Amino acid sequence: MIDRTSPTQATIAKKCKRDGALTCAVTCIILLSVLVLLVPLHAAAAKNDFVWLVNGDRITCDIKTLERGRLRVSTDSMGTVQLEWDDIVRMSSADEYIIELTHGERFLGSLVDSGQDGQLRVMLAGGEVLLNMADVVWIDPVKEGTLTDLWDGHVSVGLDYTKANNSSTFSGSFGARRRAEDFQVGISATAFLRSQDGASDSRRANLEIEYRRLLLQRRFWALVGLLERNDELGIDLRSLAGAGYGRFLVQTNRSLWSATAGAAVVNEQRAGDEAGENQIEAYLNTRHEYFLYHSPKTTLNTNLTLFPSLTDPGRLRGNLGFYLRRELVSDLFLELRLYGSYDNEPPEEGGKSDYGLITSLGYSF
């Protein structure tokens, strides 16, 4: 009888059986997200909105959202498309939207054609306001949308195999985010699995969820949850729950830069016979995102987090993440990811640092 199970499926199944629960869970999240993307989600809506472009064209559509310098609209002939905010000169819609400016001020109202390029007229409950479109960084409809209207995200996968030493490497990442009027949610997961004849397997995986309660003047409260495994650092499972207060230092249609400070409770299950421990750590994070949507679309993201221990003075941990993402064809991208972790007082079976460089292919939605 011929075994029709592919080598890739057999490898992943074998690893899930051997690896820890966190590594397997993160891998499943990444792979299942690929299947979800194959299921189309559609919602019928009347196309009564209008968008005027800098070249003079007028598009009849249903205006969805503006975020990170791109306006998402739904059309009858082209489906859902992304328009660069710099290419739009006027808009109109009878629906109500929440509009946010670079300095954090928000307005609620419908959009009326201003008749002036570069100006956005918003009809409020008690009057109207004329806004400079260059100052607008976020637009979201009050009405509910579909799942794909509410969430943006990506999934990427990399797989390498070398026959000479029977070495195989799997890497994957998944991310999703949602922005509403008064909150922001982000979910991210990464997994790295490596096996080789004559060497111990290496596993690195993490799952992070962050909730931000948005306040006035670009400030926010943050709740953070993190699960992490890292064989190189001697960590079987690290669980973290924390809270902090932060601010968007920069908020434009080309970049976002935020800083957060707070505290977290951490539980570490260490490799080997070393006993686990609970700690309280400070939480210091800064994140910068830069996005360029002229072809090819490019995104750069840098995320640095420091964890000075409050219960074990002198101990310092840190995580650094960076990725460069460039679009190859519509929504399909090539990703270069750099990661690094540091602990000046690691477990007995772990090292002080772990770092790596990963390339993968991915899809954004």
For 240-256, how does the pLDDT look when each residue is reduced to its tens digit (9 = 90+)?
Answer: 999 999 999 999 999 99
Q: Is residue 44 part of a domain?
A: no
**Alpha-carbon torsion 229, 235, 239, 244, what sign?**
negative
- 229 and 359 together in one domain: yes
- Residue 80 is predicted with a pLDDT of 84
- Give the chain's domain count: 2
Say if 2 falls within a structural domain: no
84, 110, 145 — which closes off a domain?
A: 145
The pLDDT value recorded for residue 46 is: 57
Does any domain span residue 189?
A: yes
Which residue segment(s) compose the domain that 55 sits in? 49-145
Residue 230 in tokens: 């890292």
Residue 312 placed within a domain: yes
The pLDDT value recorded for residue 97 is 94
Mean pLDDT of 196-211: 89
Residues 251 and 322 in one domain: yes
> How far apart (Å, rounded) are the C-alpha atoms in residues 169 and 233?
19
Per-residue confidence (pLDDT) for residue 33, from 0 to 100: 55
CA distance 270 to 256: 36
Rounded CA-CA distance 234/255 in Å is 36
- Read off the pLDDT of residues 331-358 as tens digits, 9 standing for 90 and up: 899 999 999 999 999 988 889 999 999 9
pLDDT at residue 106, rounded to an integer: 92
* pTM for this prediction: 0.81
Q: Return the number of other C-beta atoms located less than 10 Å from residue 215's C-beta.
A: 14
Q: How many residues does the chain have?
A: 365
Tell me, yes or no, whether 220 and 358 share the same domain.
Answer: yes
Query: Nearest-CA neighbor of 340 among 207, 233, 209?
Result: 233
CA distance 177 to 271: 33
* Residue-level pLDDT at 348: 87
Please give the share of the chain, as a percent, with pLDDT higher than 90.
65
Strands 136-141 vs 58-67: parallel, antiparallel or unpaired: antiparallel
**How confident is the model over 276-328, as pLDDT tens digits?**
789 999 999 999 999 987 778 899 999 999 999 999 999 999 999 999 999 99
The answer to whether residue 267 scores a pLDDT higher than 50 is: yes
Q: Residue 365: is its pLDDT beyond 60?
A: yes
Mean pLDDT of the chain: 86
Q: Is residue 1 part of a domain?
A: no
pLDDT, residue 144, reads: 67
Q: Please give the average per-residue pLDDT across 59-69, as a whole number.
A: 92
DSSP string, 217-241: TTEEEEEEEEEEEETTTTEEEEEEE
Q: How far apart are CA 331 and CA 329, in angstroms?
A: 6
Instruction: Name the H helices within the chain.
Output: 7-18, 21-37, 147-150
pLDDT score recorded for residue 26: 60
pLDDT in tens, 110-132: 999 999 999 999 999 889 999 99
Residue 41 belongs to some domain of the structure: no
